[in-house]
Amino acid sequence: MLDETIDTERIYALWDELADFEASRMPAARHHLLSVVCDMIDAPQADWIGAVRLDDNVQRDPLFGWRPRSLSALYPDEETEKTIQQAFALMEKGEPDITTIRNAQLAGKFRVFMLDELATPEWFESNSYKTFYRGLDRLDSIWVGIPINADAEIQIGFHRSLSQEKFSEHERQIVAHALRGIRWFYRLQMLSEGIGVASEPLTPMENRVLHDLLQGLSERKIAEDNGQSHHTVHDHVKRIYRKYGVTSRAALMALWLGKPTPLNRGFQTQDA
């Protein structure tokens, strides 16, 4: 049940403000969303992570194939960026901590977790906590997982400093309500992360098919929406893969969201 003290009018106004950003200003729109929600819950730091699911060794992988591929953040500094790169490097090696593993286990559905729900009591004595929380002046977090499609997620973390109190259930509800109803916005953000590395220009139809692939549509659905045969769309997909030098949708998504180190687009604190 929604807490009646939540400022729903401010949240609805935020959604309208996001809709007013032009597609070319998605980094600024992302910064605006994080800033407003941080103000609502008194969080001095926030991270926005784009993650993709890769196919390699999924059964043996503690993260079930998921890897971070882009990062934006509020209130960064050079030391924070360096430390988070270390965390990403551990994930790439398949050596995540328990909080990351528990989050990955529930990938595929919208979720909002307090840090205490992701961690074990022992974790608060671990090097991970000392390095990636206390070392970054972080006491507590609210983590949000937002599925885009079967192979891509956005994960957002809001963080309290060591001088503050932990987040409350009321603040969790604010975050959940503010971030729940804008899937269209997350899809635009994902598309804005494209880095334009095709070996040759895409045709207008290939661009349309690429957009639909990144939205998570099946080839049959793309064919139906565009009035083409499944065979024709499959040929478009093969040419797109060839131009981007990949062999699967997951690999295309990983390329589209960039490489994990150095962090794609860095920490964005203003309109780029």
Contact residues for 32 (Cβ-Cβ < 8 A; gap 6+): 17, 18, 21
Which helix (H) or strand (E) segment holds residue 69: the answer is strand 66-74
The predicted structure's pLDDT at residue 263: 38
The predicted structure's pLDDT at residue 30: 94
Average pLDDT over residues 124-138: 94
**Cα–Cα distance measured from residue 115 to residue 136, given in angstroms and rounded to the nearest whole number:** 15
pLDDT, tens digit, for every residue of 26-70? 889 999 999 999 999 999 999 999 888 776 556 678 888 888 877
The predicted structure's pLDDT at residue 259: 52
pLDDT higher than 50, residue 269: no
pLDDT higher than 60, residue 131: yes
> Token pair of 124, please?
């608060």
Please give the full DSSP string across 122-184, using - where no structure is assigned: GGGGSHHHHHHTGGGT--EEEEEEEEEETTEEEEEEEEE-TTSPPPPHHHHHHHHHHHHT-HH
Q: With contact defined as beta carbons under 8 Å apart, do 187 and 26 qualify?
A: no
Angle at Cα 61 formed by Cα 119 and Cα 267, nearest 5°? Answer: 65
Q: Coil, strand, or helix at residue 51?
A: strand
**Cα–Cα distance measured from residue 134 to residue 138, given in angstroms and rounded to the nearest whole number:** 5
Distances in whole angstroms, Cα of residue 226 to Cα of each of 65, 80, 148, 209:
32, 46, 22, 9
pTM for the whole structure:
0.78
Average pLDDT over residues 105-132: 95
Q: Coil, strand, or helix at residue 272?
A: coil
The DSSP secondary-structure symbol of 202 reads: P
pLDDT, tens digit, for every residue of 60-100? 788 888 888 778 888 767 888 889 888 988 888 888 999 99
**Cα–Cα distance measured from residue 136 to residue 100, given in angstroms and rounded to the nearest whole number:** 17
**Cα–Cα distance measured from residue 127 to residue 118, given in angstroms and rounded to the nearest whole number:** 16
Token match 């997951």: residue? 250
Contact residues for 8 (Cβ-Cβ < 8 A; gap 6+): 2, 177
Task: Count the Cβ atoms, other than its own, within 10 Å of residue 47.
Answer: 21
Contact residues for 247 (Cβ-Cβ < 8 A; gap 6+): 241
pLDDT, tens digit, for every residue of 181-236? 898 899 888 777 654 456 677 788 988 898 888 888 999 999 999 999 999 999 99
Distances in whole angstroms, Cα of residue 94 to Cα of each of 23, 56, 79, 97, 217:
35, 11, 23, 10, 29
Handedness of CA 211, 216, 219, 225 (dihedral sign): negative
* Listed residue (146, 142, 143, 141) closest to 110, CA to CA: 146
